[in-house]
């Protein structure tokens, strides 16, 4: 399914739509409707349970979304948080340099200087996407942060958070005091971040306001030893930088043990890369052959990273692989910079009496683009039927409750709805239209189960109190009582948890 077709389906059912739609929409901004909000919340809960659940010493916080200027200066964002932009001298349109070079250089321009990118524009005679003229300017760095006036007189400067990570670094001293004063210590946050994208595009992939989930693990590099054996035999689809340089484009399967034994990755990094891979495969339901772990080279990776693998999925709607998350080994860069900027000692005392500035491992996840990836993978048109085959625990509406006849069966259906919700099974009541149309609406919404209340449910006889349960994917139907209904539905709605503890 193409991107515009997929977006049309999501908009028609009210999953999401452009912000300020009645004014023509706002580029790079989207609103979520009830189904989109529900799916996003389920996705957030799944991420939190899986990653924060890795250890009893990992916690989630809710940070402020404004950062004082001193913070982003110390973090390096004022200097480094830039994209290269080019402007057309004829029509004056502005574009990201890597975007206009995509067809000529699919591998991107990460790590290249503005002068080198400018030479590519000249070599390929790149034309303006708007007017077709070859009058694109020399690329220049454009800082993507949103600055705002701060304080009653506007004399101070603050910035909307460009990532959630900084909040965890700022919170580390406080969390050390309120926690167990032991490493590793994990601090997770999920929240809105803001980036002034030069050219927002690809719907939820290049946005100006989006939701990010990140776990920062603060650890002692000499002692950090998560349970490596639990993932050692897992084959991971690796696309290493050296293989890309040699012209290889397909990932190769390498076991976690081999990655460590050959010295390619430290054990703590390989472990968390495997845990992240399993989340995409086992929790989100992406086929293994659609996932690759893409290594960023020294020139390509972010300035703060020692090791960086992006988790990429092949998305048919966008015509190739796209980054959905990443695992970053940031060393002690962040606490070092904030210690210098704040003039505070951020080192801690380890159990053996050493003073240590912890290193950081970052697991990052974009909720919006992962929501799009779920739709790309699981939303399909099957003949005249549109079906969103979400895993049941991610479905925004787990169960649809349909009285066959509004008057005769509505009261029983309402009572059943209250009983189900009391038992922890959310049920959406729908008595509008034919039963076939209600099934179709539920299939499009990703609802895994539909329950029909009919004459046998309310009449005296052996089937009194029973209902018909229909499964979305198979369309199979079975008649069940309340306890049987709970036994069939409730277990499928439980969010999976990571099977190991990283302490």
pLDDT given at position 188: 98
pLDDT given at position 502: 44
Which of 118, 143, 168 terminates a domain? The answer is: 143
Please check whether residues 267 and 393 belong to one and the same domain.
no
Which has the closest alpha carbon to 448: 492, 480, 499, 408?
Answer: 492
| Within a domain: 501 | no
Please check whether residues 154 and 58 belong to one and the same domain.
yes
Strand ranges across the sheet with 209-219: 58-61, 185-194, 209-219, 359-366, 320-331, 307-315, 291-295, 235-239, 252-255
| CATH code: domain of residue 480 | 3.40.50.800
Mean pLDDT calculated for residue range 201-226: 95
Helix (H, G, I), strand (E, B) or coil at 78: helix
Which of these ranges, 21-35, 75-89, 307-321, has the smallest mean pLDDT?
Answer: 75-89
Which residues, other chains included, contact 404 with Cβ-Cβ below 8 Å and sequence gap of 6+? 435, 452, 453, 454, 455
| CATH code: domain of residue 100 | 3.30.40.230
| Within a domain: 86 | yes
Please check whether residues 178 and 235 belong to one and the same domain.
yes
Which of 99, 126, 143 terminates a domain? The answer is: 143
The answer, yes or no, to whether residue 107 has pLDDT greater than 80, is no
Q: How far is CA 499 from CA 231, 454, 493, in A?
A: 10, 42, 17
| Within a domain: 70 | yes
Average pLDDT, the chain: 94
Please check whether residues 405 and 327 belong to one and the same domain.
no
pLDDT given at position 500: 59
Please check whether residues 327 and 465 belong to one and the same domain.
no
| CATH code: domain of residue 247 | 3.30.930.10
The answer, yes or no, to whether residue 503 has pLDDT greater than 50, is no
If one counts the domains in the chain, the total is: 3
- Residue range of the domain that includes 291: 3-79+144-380
Mean pLDDT calculated for residue range 408-419: 97
Mean pLDDT calculated for residue range 243-250: 88
What is d(CA 319, CA 1) in angstroms, rounded to the nearest whole number? 10
Mean pLDDT calculated for residue range 450-472: 96
Mean pLDDT calculated for residue range 78-85: 88
């Amino acid at each position: 399914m193409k991107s515009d077709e997929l977006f049309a389906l999501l908009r028609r059912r009210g999953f999401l739509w452009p912000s300020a739609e009645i004014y023509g929409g706002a580029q790079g901004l989207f609103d979520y409707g009830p189904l989109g909000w529900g799916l996003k919340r389920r996705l957030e809960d799944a991420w939190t349970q899986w990653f924060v659940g890795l250890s009893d010493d990992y916690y989630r916080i809710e940070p402020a979304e404004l950062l004082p200027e001193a913070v982003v200066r110390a973090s390096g964002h004022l200097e480094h948080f830039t994209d290269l932009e080019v402007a057309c001298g004829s029509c004056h349109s502005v574009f990201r340099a890597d975007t206009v070079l995509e067809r000529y250089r699919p591998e991107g321009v990460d790590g290249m200087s503005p002068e080198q990118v400018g030479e590519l524009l000249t070599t390929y005679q790149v034309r303006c996407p708007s007017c077709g003229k070859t009058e694109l300017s020399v690329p220049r760095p454009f800082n993507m942060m949103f600055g705002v006036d701060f304080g009653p007189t506007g004399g101070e400067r603050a910035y909307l958070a460009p990532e959630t990570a900084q909040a965890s670094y700022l919170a580390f001293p406080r969390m050390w005091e309120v926690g167990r004063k032991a490493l590793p210590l994990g601090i997770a946050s999920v929240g809105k971040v803001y980036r002034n994208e030069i050219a927002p595009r690809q719907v939820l992939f290049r946005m100006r306001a989006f939701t990010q989930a990140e776990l920062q693990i603060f650890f002692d590099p000499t002692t950090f030893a998560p349970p490596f054996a639990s993932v050692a035999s897992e084959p991971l689809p690796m696309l290493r930088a050296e293989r890309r340089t040699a012209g290889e484009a397909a990932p190769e399967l390498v076991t976690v043990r081999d990655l460590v034994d050959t010295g390619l990755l430290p054990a703590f990094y390989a472990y968390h890369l495997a845990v992240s891979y399993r989340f995409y495969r086992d929790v989100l339901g992406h086929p293994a052959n659609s996932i690759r772990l893409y290594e960023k080279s020294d020139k390509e990776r972010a300035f703060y990273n020692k090791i960086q693998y992006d988790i990429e999925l092949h998305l048919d709607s966008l015509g190739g692989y796209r980054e959905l998350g990443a695992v970053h080994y940031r060393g002690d860069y962040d606490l070092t910079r904030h210690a210098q900027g704040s003039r505070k000692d951020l080192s801690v005392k380890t159990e053996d009496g050493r003073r240590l500035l912890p290193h950081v491992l970052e697991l990052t996840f974009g909720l919006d683009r992962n929501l799009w990836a779920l739709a790309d993978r699981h939303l399909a048109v099957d003949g005249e039927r549109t079906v969103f085959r979400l895993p049941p625990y991610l479905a925004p509406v787990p169960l649809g409750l349909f009285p066959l006849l509004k008057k005769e069966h509505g009261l029983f259906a309402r009572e059943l709805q209250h009983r189900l919700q009391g038992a922890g099974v959310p049920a959406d009541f729908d008595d509008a239209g034919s039963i076939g149309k209600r099934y179709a609406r539920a299939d499009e919404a990703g609802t895994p189960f539909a329950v029909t209340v009919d004459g046998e449910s309310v009449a005296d006889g052996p089937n009194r109190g029973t209902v018909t349960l229909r499964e979305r994917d198979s369309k199979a139907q079975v008649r069940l009582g309340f306890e049987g209904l709970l036994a069939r539905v409730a277990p499928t709605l439980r969010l999976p948890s990571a099977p190991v503890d990283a302490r």
